[in-house]
Structure 1
Amino acid sequence: MPTETISAAVKPVRRSRPQWPVPAGLILLSLIPVIFGALRLTELTSGAAVTPQNARFFASPVPVVTHIASVTVYSLLGAFQFVPSLRGRRGWHRIAGRILIPAGLLTALSGLWMSVFYPLPDGHTDVPLRLFFGAAMLLSIVLGLAAVRQRDFVRHSAWMTRAYAIALGAGTQAVVGLTWIILVGPTDVPTRAVLLGAGWVVNLAVAEYVIRGRARNAPRRATAPGRTVSRPSPAVPRRGE
């Protein structure tokens, strides 16, 4: 038996990594703000009692309804962009992107509007954080859109990952806040602002880890989803050279 055949026979077969744990985790994390958003919509449509905590939503419901609807679509559909087999399909990626980009822009813009114009029951301690990360999400989507128009798919993926991480901040903030209450106890206004920022920082740190992991495993030349890189064959020297 030829040596090449023996080598091929004993060569270990690499098992493909499971594709769904990460999207499933993202969907579970998204369900936290989605459920609370659904409860808020129910409150607005069922004629619930107006309290200091919800008076701003009854006074101006359009921004909060827009924010809940857009972030629900953005967070749930965006999780499927982390499935490698789907992300590699050019048709799926484009169709999903045409939904995700408007939804992400509405999420960021409505969040910024509420941060500026809604009177918050706890005062304005966390407004600078909301404005900073809302603007960062908006800028990330704009830069991601600009990158894909320039056919720079690596940079597009990086910016859209950052935008998604910021949008998912509410889920992480709920986990961080609940953990603090269990381990430390009730929070005051400054502590809640710190925990709010911590949720966004944790998500962005994970996003940067994912982005750098992709960069280490990426081919030398970035291509569109669904395309392969054709490497040139080595030149064969001519006779006499």
Structure 2
Amino acid sequence: MPFALVGLTLIPAVSGALRLVELLGGPHVMPANPRIAGSPAPVVVHILSVVPYAVLGAFQFSSRLRRRRPRWHRAAGRVLVGLGLAVAFSGLWMTLFYPRQTGTGELAYLLRLAVGSAMAASIILGFAAIRRGDVARHQAWMTRAYAVALGAGTQVFTQGVGQAVLGTSELATDLGLGAGWAINLAVAELVIRRPRGRRQGGRPIYPAAKAGAS
């Protein structure tokens, strides 16, 4: 699972890396975006946080790694809380203060506000749950937050399909964006609601969860 999740992030990660190189004075290989050129700070924060969040977060889903290296899992989790909040708040920053992205409409604007807020809330609720020693709720909220963060990977496909079916319009773009997040969250809920024995392989995955949360 971790490598499949990392694979899903490759296209947006490469795109983000190229944009970051461009902002740091490198060659311009991405389409010009005056919104970013005028205020690059939130984009830089977003890229520098979302790529490690997506890659490091993928390995939090490895039950073998959680069992064998619980201390590593907890240490990585603390880093991911900071990275995830940076992803969510920088995304909200861009949504609220950048000019509207060309080719998108009101629906995309509202969706970005909703998913950014939902990601931040999920991380905070997940962190609060593990501090109480509530592993099940911690897993559920962190899975939802990660699903939102991986939206860009799924949107590569949903936007392509949406434009092929509906044409190139604001509505098609907005629906493609929404479909990416909806698919990820639906898969996350299926993972969360799987029987515990199947999800954990019949063995505890946090041998010292309560001790580590205290």
TM-score when scaled to structure 2? 0.86
Would the aligned equivalents of 1:37 and 1:68 in 2 still touch at CA under 8 Å? yes
Written as runs of structure 1 = structure 2, the 5 A alignment for 1:196-211 is 196-211=177-192
1:226 aligns with 2:212: no
- Report the counterpart of residue 109 of structure 1 in structure 2: 89
Written as runs of structure 1 = structure 2, the 5 A alignment for 1:1-241 is 22-46=1-25, 53-88=32-67, 89-119=69-99, 120-122=101-103, 124-125=105-106, 126-181=108-163, 183-184=164-165, 186-215=167-196, 217=198, 225-227=206-208
The structure number with the bigger radius of gyration is 1
CA distance in structure 2 between the aligned counterparts of 1:107 and 1:214, rounded to whole angstroms: 31
RMSD: 2.4
> How many residues matched?
203
> What is the CA-CA distance between 1:217 and the residue it aligns to?
4.1
CA distance in structure 2 between the aligned counterparts of 1:91 and 1:47, rounded to whole angstroms: 39
Would the aligned equivalents of 1:93 and 1:225 in 2 still touch at CA under 8 Å? no
One-letter code aligned to 1:63: P
CA distance in structure 1 between the aligned counterparts of 2:61 and 2:165, rounded to whole angstroms: 35
Would the aligned equivalents of 1:153 and 1:223 in 2 still touch at CA under 8 Å? no
> What is the CA-CA distance between 1:223 and the residue it aligns to?
6.6
Would the aligned equivalents of 2:103 and 2:173 in 1 still touch at CA under 8 Å? no
One-letter code aligned to 1:42: V
Cα distance 1:218–1:78, how it changes in 2: closer, same or farther (>3 A)? closer
Would the aligned equivalents of 1:173 and 1:199 in 2 still touch at CA under 8 Å? yes
Would the aligned equivalents of 2:57 and 2:80 in 1 still touch at CA under 8 Å? yes
Q: What SS does the aligned partner of 2:194 have?
A: helix
Q: Using the aligned pairs only, state the percent identity.
A: 50
> What is the CA-CA distance between 1:68 and the residue it aligns to?
0.4
Q: What SS does the aligned partner of 2:9 have?
A: helix
> What is the CA-CA distance between 1:84 and the residue it aligns to?
1.2
> What is the CA-CA distance between 1:227 and the residue it aligns to?
4.6
Structure number with higher relative contact order (C-alpha < 8 Å, ≥ 6 residues apart): 2
> What is the CA-CA distance between 1:97 and the residue it aligns to?
0.5
Cα distance 1:224–1:80, how it changes in 2: closer, same or farther (>3 A)? closer
CA distance in structure 1 between the aligned counterparts of 2:10 and 2:181, rounded to whole angstroms: 17
Q: Which moved more, 1:88-97 or 1:143-152?
A: 88-97
CA distance in structure 2 between the aligned counterparts of 1:115 and 1:57, rounded to whole angstroms: 12
CA distance in structure 2 between the aligned counterparts of 1:52 and 1:90, rounded to whole angstroms: 43
Cα distance 1:72–1:78, how it changes in 2: closer, same or farther (>3 A)? same
> What is the CA-CA distance between 1:113 and the residue it aligns to?
0.4
CA distance in structure 1 between the aligned counterparts of 2:144 and 2:195, rounded to whole angstroms: 13
